[in-house]
Structure 1
């Protein structure tokens, strides 16, 4: 058994003990998204097809939170993968007036597969003034390969009035231990909050040649358009 999988029951018990005292001071939120393509770290997870997604998040005033998010996926036919479920526990809070930190443990599950694709990642995101961020993720079983991998992303968002903003990010995935190579990607998008609680997002994604070689047909240049509702 992989180390992270052995640790999950203990993590669940620890989370339960932490969540209990804060249950009376907490909030529940959620989101639902319809998108023409599910793009994750520069590569499509649906072979360029449409995706419906939904998530729910519980957060205590102490900063502790737990969330679940799901989407349809389409991998190689032999995996029979058709759905993804991300289970997250973490803590988020202010470090100072300008800086906030979000730390998390994410377990990626693919319930419908005939092979073991589940894996777990430790993550942290440092945000400055709510518009620039550095995200780092690490796993000792990256993409269910039994190998280590590290991901880093640097991004920013620029408000253009009350309803519009531009968002951009660059990322790099160190996958040498798992696949013998690493890759980079970039994204640039516009967001229109046209009517609360709805947003329209249009994002251009591109990857380097290493990603195209590692994930043929899944990486490269593509445009993702999505409508999201938050509640």
Structure 2
């Protein structure tokens, strides 16, 4: 066992949970709090172009509490299916952040996100710092950076550019393009794209149909079973 690496991991976990606790405490003391949540059933859990469930269906749920000062804390979870030797069957995401307006048309969201995989036989947990700049509520630029990207010891910088186009009161389209720069990846990283149609059904349900695709570098890095082109259908309810 690498004792130095284990101690570093322990210190990072301690810092993470201290930060999460501070964020939750700050949110709770922010005056009025607002609780929201969601639950979803999806035909395939696709994250940054790659499947996290090996093409199988996934169940997801999340909760968020936000204060009037913009601080928020959230937790979400999903079923996953990685390589058999990892024994990974679930993912939990813990988030603390701040969101607010930067003007009449610009908004910023900055958060610390910790990905955790309980009951695995290997250490897959990792943490990422994310920022999203939104313009007119319909266009966004996101950046996510981590020194332990994908649960490894490599640096990773993820960038995404997206747009939302309302077509009717109940139908909208969303399109995004992303690039994941990974320090030790073949070709330096990979690109992916997504196009979605979202129907607002009887409140509070939404139906999403998404087409995903990745470039050849994603196939080389992740394998054909995880990257490439795929369809996803998801039914989500929010409160």
User: The TM-score by the shorter chain falls in which range?
Assistant: over 0.9
Helix, strand or coil at the partner of 1:195: coil
Q: Could you tell me which residue of structure 2 aligns to residue 15 of structure 1?
A: 23
Supply the distance in 1 between the matched residues of 2:83 and 2:219 (Cα, whole angstroms): 16
Structure 1 position 146, deviation (Å): 1.3
Deviations 1:71-101 (A, max 9, x none): 0000000000000000000000000000000
Flag the 1:15–1:220 CA change in 2: closer, same or farther, 3 A.
same
Does the Cα contact within 8 Å between 2:20 and 2:95 map onto a contact in 1? no
Supply the distance in 1 between the matched residues of 2:77 and 2:160 (Cα, whole angstroms): 22
Helix, strand or coil at the partner of 1:85: strand
Structure 1 position 125, deviation (Å): 0.3
Supply the distance in 2 between the matched residues of 1:69 and 1:130 (Cα, whole angstroms): 23
Q: Is the deviation greater in 47-56 or in 9-18?
A: 9-18
Does the Cα contact within 8 Å between 2:53 and 2:82 map onto a contact in 1? yes
**Which structure 1 residue ranges, 5 or more long, are not aligned?**
none
Structure 1 position 21, deviation (Å): 2.1
Flag the 1:177–1:60 CA change in 2: closer, same or farther, 3 A.
same
Structure 1 position 144, deviation (Å): 1.1
Does the Cα contact within 8 Å between 1:42 and 1:205 map onto a contact in 2? yes
CA RMSD of aligned residues (A): 1.3
Q: Could you tell me which residue of structure 2 aligns to residue 131 of structure 1?
A: 138
Q: Does 1:162 align with 2:173?
A: no
Does the Cα contact within 8 Å between 1:141 and 1:149 map onto a contact in 2? yes
Q: Does 1:195 align with 2:202?
A: yes
Q: Could you tell me which residue of structure 2 aligns to residue 182 of structure 1?
A: 189
Helix, strand or coil at the partner of 2:13: helix
Aligned residues: 230
Residue of structure 2 aligned with 1:223, choices 201, 212, 231: 231
Q: Could you tell me which residue of structure 2 aligns to residue 120 of structure 1?
A: 127
Moved over 2 A (4+): 2-6, 176-181
